[in-house]
Each structure stands twice: as structure tokens, then as C-alpha cells.
Amino acid sequence: MKVYNTLTRKKEDFTPIHGNLVTMYSCGPTVYSYAHVGNLRTYVFMDLIRRVLKYDGYKIKGVMNVTDVGHLLADGDDGEDKMQKAAREQQKTPWEIAAFYSDVFFKDIAALNIGKPEIIAKATDHIPEMIEFVQALLDKGYAYEISDGIYFDISRFPEYGKLSGQSIEEKEAGARVEENSEKRHPADFALWKKADKNHIMQWESPWGMGFPGWHIECSAMSRKYLGEVFDLHTGGIDAVPVHHENEIAQNEARAGKQTVNYWMHGEFMLVDGGKMSKSLGNVYTIAQLKEMGYDPLDFRFFCLNAHYRKKLNFTFEGMNAAKAGREKINAAVWAHKNGTETVPQEKLDEYKKQFVDAINDDLNIPLALGVLFSLIKEPRSKDVYKLILDFDKVFGLSLDKVTAPAEKAEKIDLPADVQKLVDERTEAKKNRDFAKADALRAQISEMGYEVKDTKDGLVVTKK
């Protein structure tokens, strides 16, 4: 397999340290809000790497963190903790906020057929490991204490900036004017912050009560579960200039050598060509897409159509095309499942070869989908069906579960009382009385029917 390594800026042969076992760390969610489609694109990308590795016969020891402390609003060392802000706004504890949004996150990724990494590591469960890591950096002279916390001294790590290709001088110029004049360099970052009494999440440490910096969690947890040196680290492209640069500084300062062999980053998802973020409020969640009549797998398929290193623009035209594309594939898969014709083995072997070449060329999933689209045009045959299911180990589109297209399209006669509620709901929606519409939907659901607003209008199905 060849992968593009952000660190070397080259496509390289992927060779794991431990033979057949791949050790992999993926930056996970900060659980202060719902994941939006941009966040989820990054996890679809993580899932595709995992699936290709498995397809190639590797076993994976994968770790994903759940950030439930330390991620400040500005992504740097300033601002309120995102968890604490959400807790304040929703009048809950940060722990309740974390439990709620983690649960939704894991349901969302399951709906997208994203395999859960083998180890899920919550930041708040690893405070001792983080304190130990900070102490080790202090002992080695890579960190220093000032009145508000412990900071990493980037001047002690001359390679700082190697992932993004920015020099320390450029970083310094880019860093915001600091209120904190005790820092030796503007780009020095917090490993541990001392907490005042208003800070809800805080722990005892050798430096008094406080809480960890965001970056130290990934260094401490990857080291704990994967060892000092591991194969692969993934995340979104926005993590490169700060979060991952800082992780590298922490890891390598401690280990005295390179600790991650391959860094892979997924490009951003945009909305109508612009930035999407929870703070800008222009984000869509899986629940919203479902409400609009899309299947979560329509979104997965939408992501599969763009290479992970290309920006992807989220639009509803794109989602509609993905939905239609999936319907086409599903119908063809059903036909092959029930097919009686034959396709020569050499032909199938050629498709398989093209598919394997595509996925192993830095995850060229769009090209692999092209192979699938050619394959499904072959005469209806069970051998084609088998090969489709083999490919779907990577695509993850649940092609083994397709049902007859005709069954889905079948119109059902609604009982009069259900029809009456459906009409009332349509009326309520027209009057923009969404609370009433939702209540009616729940009532209809209790009677065993599901109402969906799709792009083609209202659809009612029996549950």
C-alpha cells in the first residue's frame, strides 16, 4: 500500500513496525456538541484507511481519543474550555455534556458504518498519564513553569514546525499578541494549566490544582496504548499546524527520536465553498440529514466520491446525486444477487486487480468506485455479486443488505385514522407549527407508521 505522508510530503510504501499488526492513533471528537458532517468526513476517512488495511490482511490496534477536557475555544491556550462553556450554557455538568454527546457521536459513526477503533480513550480517564508526561518533559528540560501553568519550550526543539513546514520564526509571527508575558516564546504552548476555583474540571498535580492542555492528551494516550513509536497517526488537516505539531514536539522531546512513521490527514469539507464549523453555525448533523429523508449511508457515499486529500463541498445537489447513485448501485446489486448468467473468471480477476490497485494507491476510493460502476454493468451473475460484496468490505455501503427495489417503491394504503393524522401534520407544517407536526409524527409512529419528508415529497412507510 502506498500512502501520502504529510511529514515527508511524499507517497511512500506503507511498512508497519510489527509485521502484520498496524498501530494507529486517530484524533477523535471534542464532545461538547453534535458532530457535523465535516467532522464526520474525517472519521469516514479514518474508517477507509482501517478497511483498506484490513482488506490487505493487516490486523489493527487503533486508538481514538474522546476529548472531554482541555480543548479551549481558541484551539490554543486561551479562552474557556469548550466543555465548560457548553455545560454553563446548558446548565449541566461537563461530565453530563460529555456523556450525552459521546453517545450521539458513537451512534452517528455506527450509522455511517464507521468501524469503532479497538481502544477508545477518554481524556479525563488519563490524567495521571498526562501528569507523568508533563513531569518527564520538565525533567528533560523541555518545559518550564510559570504562574499560570507548565509550558513547552519550543526553542529547545529545533525541529518544531516540520509537519507544516513553518519555521519557528513564522510561528512566532503568526502567534497572537500574548497577554501572558511570562512565556519565553509566543508559540510556547501549555502542557498543564493551573485552575482558578471557577474552573469546574480540575485535578491535583505536582503544580497544584489544574487541568491538562489539549495536545498532551494525545501524546500520553498514544504512548500508553501504542508504545513510544507507532505506525500511523490520522486526523483532519486543520490539526497539522498546531495540534499535531505540538504532539510531535512532546513525543519526540520525550523519546529523543521520531515516534510516528506516517501522518495522514483528511482534507476539509466546505459548505457552499466556505468554512463549516460549529461556531459559525452553518453545520449539518446526521440527525438533520435523516430528517430531510437521507440515509446516513447517502452521506458516506457522498464522501467516498472525493479523494480524501481533496476539499469536498457539501451541497444538497451533491447529496441528491449520492442518494440517486446509491439507489442505482443497490438495484444493480439486487439484480446480480438473483442473476443466472455467467461472467468469465479472467474478467472478474481484472476488475479485482483494478480495485486492489486503486485502494492501495493512497486510498483512491473514487477510482475504486469507478471499477464498481463498470462491474455492475456486467451480465447479471452471482459471481459478480460475490465480487461486489468483496469490494464492499472497503466501501462499507451495506451492499449485503440490499432489498428488492420494487418492494421499497410499493405504495401502501393507509388506514383512515393514520391518513387523518398525516393530513393534519401536513397542515401543521404548512402553518409552520413544527411542534405540532413533530407531536403528530410521534403519534403516527406509535401507530406503527413512519413519516418522512423527502426531496420527492412526503413518504409514509410501515415500520
**Residues that bind ligand AMP in the complex, under the rule CB under 6 A:** 27, 29-30, 38-39, 41-42, 235-236, 238-239, 268-269, 276
Residue 266 near residue 234 (C-beta atoms within 8 A): yes
SS3 state at 31 = coil
Reading the block at residue 443, the C-alpha cell is: 403519534
- Write out the binding residues for Zn ion, residues 145-174 only, by CB under 5 A: none
Residue 249 near residue 154 (C-beta atoms within 8 A): yes
Query: H/E element holding 270?
Result: strand 269-271
Please choose, out of 20-28, 29-37, 344-352, 404-412, the segment that lies near Zn ion by the rule CB under 5 A: 20-28
CB of 243 to Zn ion, least distance (A): 6
Residues 182, 398: Cα–Cα separation, whole Å: 56
Strand 274-275 relative to strand 269-271: parallel, antiparallel, unpaired?
A: antiparallel
Residues 378, 80: Cα–Cα separation, whole Å: 58
- Write out the binding residues for Zn ion, residues 203-242 only, by CB under 5 A: 218
217 vs 378, which CB is nearer to Zn ion? 217
42 binds, among ligand AMP, Zn ion, none (CB under 5 to 8 A by kind): ligand AMP
Give me the residue label for grid cell 496504548: 225
CB of 68 to ligand AMP, least distance (A): 11
41 vs 254, which CB is nearer to ligand AMP? 41
30 binds, among ligand AMP, Zn ion, none (CB under 5 to 8 A by kind): ligand AMP
218 binds, among ligand AMP, Zn ion, none (CB under 5 to 8 A by kind): Zn ion
Residue closest to ligand AMP (Cβ): 236
3 vs 335, which CB is nearer to ligand AMP? 3
Sheet containing 312-314: order of strands:
274-275, 269-271, 312-314
DSSP E strand boundaries for 177-268: 190-194, 210-212, 230-236, 260-266
With 0-12 / 13-18 / 19 or more C-beta atoms within 10 angstroms meaning exposed / middle / buried, residue 56 is middle
236 binds, among ligand AMP, Zn ion, none (CB under 5 to 8 A by kind): ligand AMP
CB of 266 to ligand AMP, least distance (A): 6
CB of 427 to ligand AMP, least distance (A): 38
Residues 44, 41: Cα–Cα separation, whole Å: 5
CB of 247 to Zn ion, least distance (A): 6
68 vs 153, which CB is nearer to ligand AMP? 68
30 vs 259, which CB is nearer to ligand AMP? 30
Residues 65, 217: Cα–Cα separation, whole Å: 8
49 binds, among Zn ion, ligand AMP, none (CB under 5 to 8 A by kind): none
276 binds, among Zn ion, ligand AMP, none (CB under 5 to 8 A by kind): ligand AMP
205 vs 222, which CB is nearer to ligand AMP? 222
CB of 354 to ligand AMP, least distance (A): 29
Our finding on whether 384 is near Zn ion (CB under 5 A) is: no
Residue 460 CB neighbours (<10 A): 17
Virtual CA dihedral for 367, 369, 370, 373, nearest 10 degrees? Answer: 170
CB of 111 to ligand AMP, least distance (A): 17
CB of 32 to ligand AMP, least distance (A): 8
Amino acid at 204: E
Reading the block at residue 270, the C-alpha cell is: 466546505
Reading the block at residue 132, the C-alpha cell is: 507523568
Residue 245 near residue 161 (C-beta atoms within 8 A): yes
* Percent of the chain that is helix, strand, coil (3-state, to 5): 45, 20, 35
Site string for Zn ion, 21-60 (x = CB under 5 A): ------x---------------------------------
Give me the residue label for grid cell 405504495: 411
235 vs 339, which CB is nearer to ligand AMP? 235
218 vs 297, which CB is nearer to Zn ion? 218
149 vs 235, which CB is nearer to ligand AMP? 235
Site of interaction with Zn ion (CB under 5 A): 27, 218
